[in-house]
Amino acid sequence: MDLVGLVLHHIRAYSGTNDPRTALAAAPLWAAGALIHEISERLYQDSVTEDDVELALLVGALLGTRLQALGEEQTPLDHHAWLSVFGLLHAIAPQVVPEDLAEAFADAPPPVPERHTLLSAMGMVLLQACGRTKDAKLSGTAISLWEAALESAPEEEQPAIRGNLGSSWRELAEVLGEPDLLKVAAHHMDQAAGAAEGNPERPRMWDGLATVLDALFDHHHDVADLDRAIGARRAMVKEVLPEAGQWFQLGVLLWKRYQYTRVERYLNEAIDAVARETGIMPGEHPVLPGVLGSLGNMLLARHAATGDLDDLKAALAATAAGERLAPPEHPQRAALHRNTDALRQRYASALSGQPPDGPTGLGLEPPEPDVLVTLARSLLGQFIRCGDSADVEAALRLSRDALAALPGHAPALSTESAALFHRFRLRAEPADLADAFDSASAALAATPDDAPVRVDRLAALAFVLRIRFETVGDLEDLTAAIEAAEAAVGLADRLGAPEHTAPAVLSGLLLARFVTLRRRGDIDQAIAAGHKAVDSAPPGPETGRALTHLAAALHARYHALDQREDLDRAITALRTAISATPSTHVDHPVMRLKLAVALRDSGDRDDLDASVLILRRTARDLAARSPGDPQLAHLQSELGATLLRRWSKGGGPAEDVHTALASFRASTASVNASTRTRLFSAFHSGRLGMLTGDTRGALADYRTAIEQLLPRLADRGIPRTSRLAQIAQLPLLASDAAAAAIAADDLRGAVRLLEQGRSVIWSQLMQTRADRNALRARHRLLAEEFDAICAELEGGGPGPDGNHTEVPGGGSRRWGLSERFDDVLARIRGLPGFADFLEPLSFEDLHRAADDGPVAIINISSHRCDALLLTSTPGEDPVRLVELPGVTAEDIERSAAGFLDAVSRLNEPGLALGPIEAHALGTRITDTLHRLWEDIAEPVLAELGLDQPRAVMPRMWWCPTGPLALLPLHAAGTNGSRVIDRVISSYTPTLDSLVRARAHRPSRRPQLLAVGVADVPGNDGTSAPPAALPGVRSELSVLGELFGDGHTLRAEEQAVMPAVLSALPSHPWVHFACHGMHDPDDPAASHLVLHDGPLSVTTIAEQDLSGAELAFLSACHTARGTSALADEAIHLAAAFQLAGFQHVVGTLWSLADGPAPDITRDFYRALRTSDQGAGGSARALHDAVQRLRRDPAHAARLNWACYVHVGP
């Protein structure tokens, strides 16, 4: 049956039976609505047809029939719709209007409705009928009518129409049982209420929106819906003087928010709202007793949470008042009576001090685990969107409630990890990040390999690892994070699912690796991953996040390649990201910060001004919203850098430099910030303080950096390679700090700062090997606990084969070791007699380094360069200052690079140099040694009174800092005067290492281990083996002649890792004759080449060879560090000393094979005839080198100047 037939059938049926059901059925009404929707546009045109008029007349007839059937139950809406149809007919075709109605219209002409009014009137009838019949077609047709009305309505009438459109969607959702349709209803209602300013119906619109959103929350448990409902109810009570019940409705939603999330402020607001209601609602209102009862429940809940007796008293008063107001027939009277009695008993018990018993007022059954997880996730979503930290705590509690009910539940574990992660970002508590990693790992382990949700969990784990890397600096975390993110992207690709989070995370991780290791390919891959994330992200904040990752990678490539296009694209991406992201979103401050930094780097004056403004506003907004947010310190640090940039370009006000200094210091003082941020801020404030003449302030900044923050950055619990990567980002920190102390006339403080800020990694390892005999004797259990932690921190060292065993728990376990170390150390220092246990050496202790001769610390700083001379001459100052005005850090760095380049090229086998080029390189070496003499060595020796030759050559120790450590101070001089002709030079990386080495004085006749590899076997073919060393056999032969049965030989096939490592503990002396390989990118991987592979710096350092005396490293580069880590002394010679050898002979560059046997012979002959044993090694080396200098065949500087002695 068509629409017309359907309507006619029901009209005729009613006429024949007078049965209201036929007229009021849903079918003819929605058919009539569909007809009006079809013809309404034509009815308002001049070309309206008779057919259209007849259809309109049919609809009017049905509406009239409905009025008759409804009788007294008809509403103004029914009458209005009927009158609207006939009012239009009377205007366009009066002849069709029934006679009786036409006569009435003649006396009182009806209004002619506009099209949107006609459609709205019909829509209201259908919506009203749907409420009674629950017929889906009524709702669907009403929706069509409202949408058509919306198209033709003037702007001022659209809010009401859109509100009714939303109501129709709500009815349809209820009829069909499709709660997702409520989202459409909420969308229209939200738009309607938002646009209805001044409309008296606006409170009703807010109320309807709140009802729909509350229903959405009940279905989906998304807290965002409940919060929007609360927002709508807040708007409702603000519109006009609230009607009775409206404050209570708001209170009910706030109470619901508290019941599910336990966020206290919602309970307080609920109580306030309901209390206001009790002051508005008339005393005779039938709902008031229930309102008072609800208020009593809320007050009881607050009492249960806080223990405040006033709340319990108020709860009793409210409930009792409700009981008094409730008439006998009131449905809640019995419950109010019971609650009043229970509260009286509880109050009496509380007054007598008895523990509470009975209900808590919450009245909510614990939700199922899946619901708890959904709630927790939605709370985290709300936190991300709005930044309320209380939601993070609530999410964590809910996820843990779910895990308590269902242990090992992967969604709950994943949610718990996310909550812990966000709480770490807010509070910077290391335990939260460690627990977040554990939960993320457990969630991933419980997820099937091919499950789509595994993509998200891999990405989440990768992000946690990234933040842990940024916090702690463990490169293993970065590697594991990249592997997880790559796995997430790969799985998403295999599943064919659009994915934006995993590529964005991968982009950030590849950028982090590029910044840390400077691998060129990483930055291009980071940009590619960023583009993939942007292409896949949905509009809004997710696109903003993806654009932010892409912008960061583009910005980094700009710094690397200086391509302005990359910076411009980064700025554009960040501006787009900010516009796509609400200002309350937790990522918004990060986006603004990155934009400010990018604008700063553009160099334009206007961009610098904009950068300063953005940073200031962002810091202000973030401080107002979240005062303890760790990002504030980062913002302050970047503001300092930007102000300094503007000041240095001469475009900013004079106070910029002072404001920058204050910003850096505020960042340093932020205890919630990351150690990296605080340390870099302290570093910059120290430098800026020196620049502005605030020497004392600069010294305080540097001390904070070195004494408090540097040890945290180089956390003991992370691998040494990772710690070195962190330290490398702060060149000259210790030297700059010492320069500040020197400028403040605190020479002793300068010495201590240099000790604490250099060789940090070696010093940490030495702490784990400190003598603990006294502790064991008096506190055995604590000593054993400390021993166990120290063993774990050292990783147990390599096994017999030289390989390392993976520690169970990996990075997560290691990360907590530093805290455990510090905890046990604090407990030890609290014991009587152990207050100084493992404390940095005092100046008096450090000064003992000069007991056997002067020590010259050459401090190379960006502020100034000086020599600090330690002597033990009675009556003289223990430390003297020699200013070095002709020296700058930049010159030394440039000289070291040029010198080593010249040495490398002159020594490189197979490199054919022309005579002019060779002469130029030689001249560069000569000039460098000449300047070292004039600017450094000669003033130092003159101050010490060692600038003239003596019959008995005196000894002295050099302790160079920064890039000077790469140069041969012992070879400095001119043809007439050289250091080697004035003193016997030894080197020490720190005073502490010299003091420790000097403490052991052996007396037994040593056994020598001779290790030699002349021919390295071929490898897998990927690279050529090193050239043969024929001089090795001569060296080993010399050792055999000199030591006979007093030595053990491990040569060629016997010179393998297990044999060498197992022999070292029983041989106080060791001589290596083999290739030495220097790795400038990873100095800890520099190594001696044994027959079966490398014996690295790391492997040697992990040996505990306490009591060993002498190591002669007759190999290339064994005492050469790197410019980035010159102060850490990461080379083989230092590693052997750290392992326990008092004396080490090493080389600064490539060792010529020819003279090596001669040096070896002369060196050991002198030792064999000396009564000092290994203690005579410095003099023996000096004499051997002098003989080599006098030999015309080997007198070239590159042959003899490479040898150095390290030790006492």
Contacts of 316 (CB under 8 A, 6+ apart): 296, 340, 343, 344, 347
Edge to edge, the sheet with strand 955-960 lists 879-883, 865-870, 855-860, 955-960, 984-987, 1203-1206, 1143-1147, 1110-1114, 1069-1073, 1008-1012, 1047-1051
Give the pair of three-digit tokens for residue 90: 């009377």
Report CA Rg, the chain: 42
Give the pair of three-digit tokens for residue 821: 């170390």
Q: Are 167 and 146 in contact (CB under 8 A)?
A: no
The angle subtended at Cα 592 by Cα 591 and Cα 597, nearest 5°, is 100
Q: How far apart are CA 1168 and CA 1187, in angstroms?
A: 17
The angle subtended at Cα 771 by Cα 767 and Cα 772, nearest 5°, is 100
CB atoms near residue 438 (< 10 Å)? 17
| Cα dihedral value 685, 687, 688, 690, nearest 10 | 120
Residue in the block written with tokens 């309109």: 56
Q: Are strands 984-987 and 1008-1012 parallel, antiparallel or unpaired?
A: unpaired
List Cβ<8 Å contacts ≥24 apart for 1163-1170: 1163/1112, 1164/1038, 1164/1039, 1164/1042, 1164/1043, 1165/1042, 1167/1110, 1168/1042
Phi and psi (nearest 5°) for 987? -120, 155
Beta bridge pairs of residue 868: 857, 881
- pLDDT tens by residue, 352-382: 877 766 555 555 567 889 999 999 999 999 9
Of the candidates 166, 144, 160, 227, the residue with the CA atom closest to the CA atom of residue 195:
160
Q: Are 1010 and 1071 in contact (CB under 8 A)?
A: yes
* Total residue count of the chain as it appears in this document: 1208
- Calculate the CA 196 to chain-centre distance: 43
Residue 1042 burial (CB < 10 Å; 0-12/13-18/19+)?
Answer: middle
Q: How far apart are CA 460 and CA 466, in angstroms?
A: 10
Contacts of 539 (CB under 8 A, 6+ apart): 580
Fold topology of 995-1206? Rossmann fold (3.40.50)
Q: At what angle do helices 115-133 and 158-176 cross, to 10 degrees?
A: 30
| Predicted local confidence at residue 802, as pLDDT | 37
The DSSP output letter for 863 is S
Of the candidates 12, 32, 31, 10, the residue with the CA atom closest to the CA atom of residue 22:
10
Residue in the block written with tokens 């041969």: 968
For the chain, give every domain's residue range: 1-153, 587-673, 851-985, 995-1206
Q: How far apart are CA 318 and CA 279, in angstroms?
A: 12
| Predicted local confidence at residue 804, as pLDDT | 40
Give the pair of three-digit tokens for residue 215: 């229903």
Q: Are 125 and 77 in contact (CB under 8 A)?
A: yes
CB atoms near residue 498 (< 10 Å)? 10
pTM for this entry: 0.79
Residues in the chain predicted with pLDDT less than 70, given as ranges, are: 1, 356-365, 651-652, 715-719, 794-818, 910, 1001-1005, 1019-1024
Q: How far apart are CA 958 and CA 292, in angstroms?
A: 85
CB atoms near residue 783 (< 10 Å)? 18
Q: Are 666 and 622 in contact (CB under 8 A)?
A: no
Residue 1202, SS3 per DSSP: coil
Q: Are 1063 and 1050 in contact (CB under 8 A)?
A: yes
Give the pair of three-digit tokens for residue 344: 């009286």
Q: Are 738 and 762 in contact (CB under 8 A)?
A: no
Cα four-point dihedral sign 909, 914, 918, 921: negative
- Amino acid identity of residue 73, one-letter, is E
Helices (H), 585-674: 588-602, 605-625, 631-648, 656-668
Distances (CA, A) of 324 to 247, 291, 319, 334, 618: 22, 13, 9, 11, 55
Contacts of 734 (CB under 8 A, 6+ apart): 706, 753, 754, 756, 757, 758, 961, 1127
Residue 93, SS3 per DSSP: coil
| Predicted local confidence at residue 791, as pLDDT | 79
- Amino acid identity of residue 336, one-letter, is L
